[in-house]
Structure formats: C-alpha cells, structure tokens
Structure 1
Amino acid sequence: MRLTEFWKKMNAQFGSGYAESFASDHVMSELGGRTVREALDAGWETKDVWRAVCAAMGVPASRQ
C-alpha cells in the first residue's frame, strides 16, 4: 500500500482533522508502543500499520 493510499484510508475513517492527531498522539500496543507516525518513521510497512489501526479501532471489514 502506498503512503498516499494509507492517508486516504486514515482520513476516510477518522476525518481529515482527527486522522493526523490520531497518528501523532495515539500510542498503540499493536505497533509496539509506537504511534502511527513513529511506526511509519521506523520503517513499518503501511499495510501493517493500517492493519494494526483497523484491529485496534474496530474498523469494519468493508472499510479496510
């Protein structure tokens, strides 16, 4: 998954204003105690980060 597609999905799920805040501020155990931004900066694959967000936040399968 390209980074642009990842952010489209984040914005669609959380709204453009909250997606950035969530990515920067919400520490997730699914990402090893990192935020979305930290995981991406550490080299995590975008598809793996998106899957972790979906699992943690209960994103419906139809929106994954």
Structure 2
Amino acid sequence: MRHSDFQRLADEVFGPAYGRVLVREQVLPKLGNRTAQDALTEGFEPRDVWHALCDALDVPEPERWGGDEHRQAPPPR
C-alpha cells in the first residue's frame, strides 16, 4: 500500500473531511500513541497504519477496503 492509497481509503471509508481529521487527530495505541499522520511521517508502513486506524475505530473487516473488490485483501491472522 502506498501513502496515496492510504489517503484514498481514508476518504472513501470515512468520508473526505472526517477521514482527514481522523488521520491528523486520532491517537492510535497500537502505534505507540501516535496519530496516523505522525506514524506515516515517521516511516511506518501505510498498511500497518491503516489497520491500526481501522482497529481503533472498530471498522469491520469487509468495510476496510472500500468499494473496490480488487483492493488488497487483509493480512492473514
């Protein structure tokens, strides 16, 4: 996943305005209490940040990838 894919998903899953606020403001315990924006800036993998954001907001697995059925599937658990 690239940074641009991350932002596109945030816009699609949460809406453009709210998604950008979440990326900038939501503190993510799984990433050492960083925001998604801080984690991305510090070099965290966008896919890991995306999962941390979705986990923090209890986004169900099927809804994490938006409407594109060809997007990357979630990692095996």
Q: Structure 2: how far apart are the matches of 1:37 and 1:63?
A: 21
The one-letter code of the counterpart of 1:10 is A
The yes-or-no answer on 1:61 pairing with 2:61 is yes
> Which structure has the highest strand share of the two?
2
Give the aligned length. 64
Pairwise CA RMSD: 1.0
What letter corresponds to residue 29 of structure 2 in structure 1? S
Q: Name structure 2 gaps, 5 residues minimum.
A: 65-77
Give me the TM-score of the superposition, normalised by structure 1: 0.89
Report runs of 4+ in structure 1 exceeding 3 Å deviation. Answer: none
Superposed displacement of residue 63, structure 1: 2.0
What does residue 48 of structure 1 align with?
Answer: 48
Give the TM-score taking structure 2 as reference length: 0.76
Alignment of 1:1-64 (within 5 A): 1-64=1-64
Q: CA deviation at 1:30?
A: 1.4
- The CA deviation string for residues 6-54 of structure 1, in whole angstroms up to 9 with x for no partner, is 1111111111001111111111111111001000000000000011111
Unmatched segments (≥5 aa) in structure 1: none
In structure 2, what is the Cα distance between the partners aligned to 1:54 and 1:25?
14
CA distance in 1, matches of 2:51, 2:22: 15
d(CA) in 1 for partners of 2:5, 2:23: 15
